[in-house]
Amino acid sequence: MVREERSSVLFWAVAALVAVALGAGWLLLRNQAPVVMAAFVPTTTSLPPTITLTPTWTPLPTETLPPSETPRPTETPAPTSTPRDPRFHTVEAGETLFGLSLLYRISAESIAQSNDFDINTPIQSGQSLLIPWPTATPPLESVLLEINGEQVLADATNCEIITIQSGDSAYGLSALKGVPLEAIIAINRQTQESIQLIQPGDTLCIPKLLYGDTIPPTAGPSPTPSLTPPPQGPALLYPTDGAVVDTSATVTLQWAAVKDLGSSEWYMVEMRDADDRDSLPRRGFTRDQSFHVPENWRPAVDERRQMEWTVSIIQATGRRSDGGLIYTFGGQSSPPSYFLWQGAVPTPTPRPTTTPSPEPSSD
């Protein structure tokens, strides 16, 4: 009996433990079903999708254009000068190419080139020549001179511009303004010949003169050496200034030498009728200190005329085809001198004489 009771108790104890274990297992499975199933049920791991490279078009970088320049205002072109009508000159007897160059203030080379002939070709009476207009004058520059043994600067920076009026002359302006004639000639790029041919409407610069210590120093580390002035012109002796020459004999001009002439140097004598504003100077050459004036230089009017004459030293560089000298100036011209010369008495033109016709005979 005892064994049966013990067996029964043990049975029921084991059954209770089994029931408790089953209940606990059930509860555990109800709450942790996903975890447990995951532990026992194989799962499929999803692979990540295969990346398919889709070609995409990357736009090329656009070229950045430089900033466009702001258009500048259109410049109005300067008005062009209207070409002037050409000038023509009919050559008269006794005229030379060099004389025409002085008359029109243009170089003899320009006249020869405009007419397509050589400068040494003599011009003929009646020939028509094209005279070109002179080119624009470059800006004036100050000039250092020696006047009466003293250094003088002819200043062109603030010069007085004079417009030539009728009756004006360079000599008169020189005396009126108190400026030596050589300074006016140098500053205006003139010569003793061309300054005599100024006409109304022309302009001259009357420079201011700076003497001695008023001359500004030369800029720079070393001073510029002073210019060596050209030799002075010969001193004119005879005829004396203002003399009256009435004789019909040949006039002999005389002067004093300032230096010994070189082998290629000559004296050039120039003489013109000062009472005729438009007259051109006549020129003669000699190596002596005197010059016999040709008879055809005498004025062709029966009255006293004021004759102006100068002497210059020139450097001969050759000869023209007509025998005349080709030369350059080798120094300054002498101051002009004047004398009165009685003009030639014009020879009357003989009148044609009529031959008397024979009277008819009464027979």
Considering only CA atoms, give the Rg of the chain: 58
Distance of alpha carbon 178 from alpha carbon 163, whole angstroms: 17
pLDDT at residue 326 is higher than 60:
yes
Of 19-33, 271-285, 324-338, the range with the highest mean pLDDT is 271-285
> Which residue type does 68 have?
S
pLDDT of residue 134: 64
pLDDT of residue 308: 92
Distance of alpha carbon 227 from alpha carbon 209, whole angstroms: 16
pLDDT at residue 348 is higher than 80:
no
pLDDT-above-70 percentage for the chain: 68
What is the torsion angle, in degrees rounded to the nearest 10, for the CA atoms of residue 196, residue 197, residue 201 and residue 206?
Answer: -30
pLDDT at residue 160 is higher than 80:
yes
pLDDT of residue 222: 47
pLDDT at residue 354 is higher than 60:
no
pLDDT of residue 78: 47
Q: Tell me the pLDDT band of 229, cut-offs 50, 70 and 90.
A: low
Q: Which residues contact 101 (CB under 8 A, 6 or more apart)?
A: 107, 108, 110, 111
How do residues 174-219 score in pLDDT, each as one tens digit? 888 888 898 888 888 888 877 877 778 788 889 888 876 555 555 5
pLDDT of residue 269: 92
Tokens of 252: 């002999």
- What's the rounded mean pLDDT across residues 253-266? 86
pLDDT at residue 317 is higher than 60:
yes
- What's the rounded mean pLDDT across residues 80-104? 76
Q: Tell me the pLDDT band of 81, cut-offs 50, 70 and 90.
A: very low
pLDDT of residue 311: 92
pLDDT of residue 338: 92
Q: What is the pTM of this model?
A: 0.37
Coil, strand or helix at 158: strand
Q: What is the mean pLDDT of the chain?
A: 75
- What's the rounded mean pLDDT across residues 46-71? 56
- Helix axis angle, 33-40 relative to 2-31, nearest 10°? 90
pLDDT of residue 253: 92
Out of 47-51, 120-124, 200-204, 234-238, least confident range? 47-51
